Amino acid sequence: MRPSTPEDQLKIELEKATSLNQLILDSVAEGIYGIDLQANVIFWNKAAEQLTGFSITDFEYENLHDLIHHTDKEGKHVPLTDCPVYHALNTGESLLVEDDIFWRKDGTSFPVEYTIKPMIEDGQNVGTVITFRDVTEKRKTEQLLEEWEKLSLVGQMSAGIAHEIRNPITSLKGFVQLLHQSKDFKAEYFQIMDAEFNRIETIIKELLMFSKPQKANFCERDVKDIMRHVVLLMDPQAMMKNIQLKTVWDHTDAVVSCLDHQLKQVFINLIKNAMEAIVSDGEVVIRIDQDEEDVTIKVSDNGPGMSPEMIAKIGEPFFSTKESGTGLGMMVTKNIIQNNHHGSFHVESEVDKGTTFTIRLPKEFERQLR
């Protein structure tokens, strides 16, 4: 037996280090794999094998992307150029991907979250390390929480509906009894009864607007054009209260993909809300601006404003700053903007200085109702 040389010792130490590295990788619960700049899989831990069913030898003759990331969750083919892993490999970026799927060897898929980190050697990018985990249980938990939130909201709304409708019905019953007992039934009583019927009708209309499924007939529309029609519609009511509706925007089109009838309802709600906040002799200013990605709509009034506590409750069912309000108008508005148009809804207000509602609408998005 020949004596070991320094080269032999170095080889033994290298094998030990490699074995230790693999042992560490295999002890981790998340799937971990690495690819070099030629997209060859250079390591693949035990968790990755258990999660996908593939072993590292499966990638000797087939591209990893074509085996585990070939199709997205909508069933569409994912070209290599659109794969976050290969994008990061080419750019040296670190990425976090929270909503994707990987495919198993048996042809089934599972939801994953994964991080992509560059491998740096002597200041140079030599590959990429991907750490991924199966988030099936996490998604189920999130779905359950969402369902519980919906049930909780239904409970709140049911109690609110009962309360809101009971009040006008009680008044109407009283007037009906009075009508039976009195020969001298004043005409003003009929006006009150009519107002109570209108209140019930308003509550039901706003509830239907919130709950009724809408067909997603999206179209390209100029937000300014929709707002012009709404301002013309609301202007007579504003004049009766001596309120000026002022529009501030340039002459360029502000086109978004939208359900135009829903945006019209939102703009009516916001302007009506602003006008009702002003006792008289006030001003409602409507501003529309845009950048490359979004259109921003601001509706401001010089009314009494709101406290931070009141702002926090805007959009909750049956919370309203008005004595005769239901709170459902703002709830409908938030639902249309945030859920149906993937936009944002923000309120700024200061007591004795007024309130500004700000809506941001993306010019383009995936056209589907959530």
Show the domain range for 249.
218-369
CA–CA gap between residue 247 and residue 334 (Å, rounded): 22
- Check pLDDT > 60 for residue 318: no
Span between the terminal Cα atoms of the chain, in Å: 74
pLDDT of residue 228: 92
Q: Judge contact between 231 and 271, C-beta under 8 A.
A: yes
235 and 359 belong to one structural domain? yes
Residue 188 within any structural domain of the chain: no
Give the domain CATH number at 14: 3.30.450.20
DSSP 8-state symbol, 110? E
CA–CA gap between residue 38 and residue 127 (Å, rounded): 8
pLDDT digits 0-9 by tens, 120-174: 888 888 999 999 999 999 888 888 887 777 666 666 566 556 655 666 677 677 7
100 and 236 belong to one structural domain? no
Quote the tokens at residue 321. Answer: 């700053």
Residue 161 within any structural domain of the chain: no
Range name among 25-39, 127-141, 154-168, 291-305 with the lowest pLDDT average = 154-168
Q: Which of 99, 121, 136 is a domain's end point?
A: 136
pTM, whole model, 2 decimals?
A: 0.49
226 or 199: whose pLDDT is higher? 226
CA–CA gap between residue 20 and residue 59 (Å, rounded): 23
Residue 19 within any structural domain of the chain: yes
116 and 242 belong to one structural domain? no
**Rg, C-alpha atoms of the chain:** 31
Q: What percent of the chain has pLDDT over 90?
A: 33
Give the domain CATH number at 289: 3.30.565.10
227 and 355 belong to one structural domain? yes
Q: Which of 136, 166, 199 is a domain's end point?
A: 136
The DSSP element (H or E) to which 124 belongs, if any, is: strand 124-134
Angle (CA) 212 215 220, round 5°: 130
21 and 115 belong to one structural domain? yes
Residue 294 within any structural domain of the chain: yes
Residue in the structure block whose two tokens are 């970026």: 93
DSSP 8-state symbol, 219? E
pLDDT of residue 370: 41
Residue 150 within any structural domain of the chain: no
Q: Which of 101, 136, 171 is a domain's end point?
A: 136
What's the domain count of the chain? 2
- Check pLDDT > 90 for residue 245: yes
111 and 232 belong to one structural domain? no
- For residue 171, what are the contacts with CB-CB under 8 A and spacing of at least 6? 192, 193, 196
pLDDT digits 0-9 by tens, 257-284: 998 888 988 898 899 889 988 877 789 9
DSSP 8-state symbol, 338? I
Residue 156 within any structural domain of the chain: no
108 and 229 belong to one structural domain? no
Q: What share of residues in the chain are helix, strand, coil (percent, to 5)?
A: 45, 25, 30
Looking at every residue in the chain, the average pLDDT score rounds to 81
Angle (CA) 193 195 198, round 5°: 115
Q: How much is the average pLDDT of 353-370?
A: 77
Q: At what angle do helices 260-277 and 223-240 cross, to 10 degrees?
A: 30
232 and 123 belong to one structural domain? no
